[in-house]
Amino acid sequence: MNARKTYQVITYGCQMNVHDSERIAGLLDAAGYEPVVAPEVADVVVFNTCAVRENADNRLYGNLGHLAPLKLEHPDMLIAVGGCMAQKDKDLVVKKAPWVDVVFGTHNIGHLPTLLDKARVEQQAQVEIAESLVTFPSTLPTRRESPYAGWVTISVGCNNTCTFCIVPSVRGQETDRRPEEVLDEITMLVDQGVQEVTLLGQNVNTYGVQFGDRDAFAKLLRACGDITGLRRLRFTSPHPANFTDSVIAAMAETPNVMPSLHMPLQSGSDTVLKRMRRAYRTGRFMSILESVRERIPHAAVTTDIIVGFPGETDDAFEATLDVVRQARFAAAFTFQYSIRPGTPAGVMPDQVPHDVVQERYERLVQVIDEIAWQENQALVGTEVEVMFAVGEGRKDGQTHRLSGRARDNRLVHVALPNDLDRQPRPGDIARATVTYAAPHHLIADTGFTGLERTLGGDAWERSQTPEPVGVTLGLPMRRSGGPVAV
């Protein structure tokens, strides 16, 4: 083992979990640990878990099983399990995997270093699951994955009661940050070189419910437009039932809000939506899309769809296919329904047989891919602005391509000329002409023009030095009362 203790964080699930893992890493950095990458054996391994789908449970316990013999070889290793599944299962984690040392929930991430110390000293498992938020996550130190793009949480928890979803029971009721706290954090990140920010919340467009301002989210988007140096602003995920015209107007009229929208449909059948307890119907969903595309013609819209929800008939599934064809999504995250213990849908009659769900799932994916390909083909010959990115693709030795994201969030692979004096860095921005389209990406094989070496690219370059970078202190919570106009 190294003289200085090391850690590895393994993440399952949504963007909220990814951002929580950045905070877990920041806490461990602040406690004196160093990050390592497998296959090196870490002193502390932290699993940040998801509870939304059954396969996340299986993956966790499978990976914990693989660690059991490694723990026997390295008895000083500590294994911690946090996140939504830990919040849901509590003591069950240690019963199923007694070699786990720490179990902590979604509400008490900040206690992890203390729990690790206690487990090490007392030589017994520490299980701490707070039932409500202890400290708003943004107050915690953070090791960001990217020096030029960042997540900013505007709310945690959810007040909806979707019958398939376990999030309210593991994340709690919605808690909103004050607008000035959000803007302070974004400004701080921009000062450090971040030029793209994604606002996070289980239901971002109900932001403001705690302080009684129905238009708070639209105001927040507009206020972000006034932050100098913030080049791209995104948000995820809004709920169709709470989408307002003021948000659409703010998206259209704020230049740094990107022309992309991820809005979960879940089903194209009104009957199924009612059983899901989704407070909208397909007509409402399509009217939002119509308004968005009227104000933002080039917006790329993506969605989530669940296949095989209890009671989904052949006609209900065909209704979903019809809505998908009308909506013409740029992409869709498709899921086969699986029973989640503790949810109303888990005990509903008319559970759909797995082979039927599988067949419907394959048909849906085929239709979505065909439409996405057609939508991408319509962009061949057009020019797009690309922000080059780490992790979006590799620089290919044969094609000499570098990958990045267009303003509408489409993935673009750009060919690099061999005679470049200085190649683009992650975070740099250029314009490229689309020469080929596939269902899930675009290719620009004629190179690029107008390469801009950005402050984000500078931040990435600094991050390649051996010194620790990218760790920021959390912001103090402001306690001012009453709604704030932004």
Sequence spans of domains, the chain: 6-128, 144-258, 263-378, 383-456
For residue range 247-302, what is the model confidence (pLDDT) as tens digits? 999 999 999 999 999 999 999 999 999 999 999 999 999 999 999 999 999 999 99
The reported pTM is 0.85
- The fold for domain 6-128 equals Rossmann fold (3.40.50)
Name the token pair of 99: 């070699």
Asked whether the predicted pLDDT for residue 209 surpasses 50, the reply is yes
CATH number attached to the domain at 144-258? 3.30.750.210
Report the distance separating Cα 286 and Cα 27, nearest Å: 43
- The residues, any chain, with a CB within 8 Å of residue 365's CB and separated by 6 or more, are 334
**Percent of all residues in the chain with a pLDDT value above 70, rounded to a whole number:** 90
Q: Which residue has the higher pLDDT, 90 or 256?
A: 256
Domains 144-258 and 263-378 belong to one CATH topology: yes
Q: pLDDT tens digits, residue range 149-193?
A: 999 999 988 999 999 988 777 888 898 999 999 999 999 999 999
Kindly state the average pLDDT of the residues 218-244. 96
pLDDT for 301-326, tens place per residue? 999 999 999 999 999 999 999 999 99
- Tokens 């709920």 belong to 239
* pLDDT band, very low/low/confident/very high, at 2 (cuts 50, 70, 90): very low
So what CATH class is 263-378?
alpha beta
pLDDT at 470: 41
Q: pLDDT value at position 478?
A: 32
Class (C level, CATH) for 383-456: mainly beta
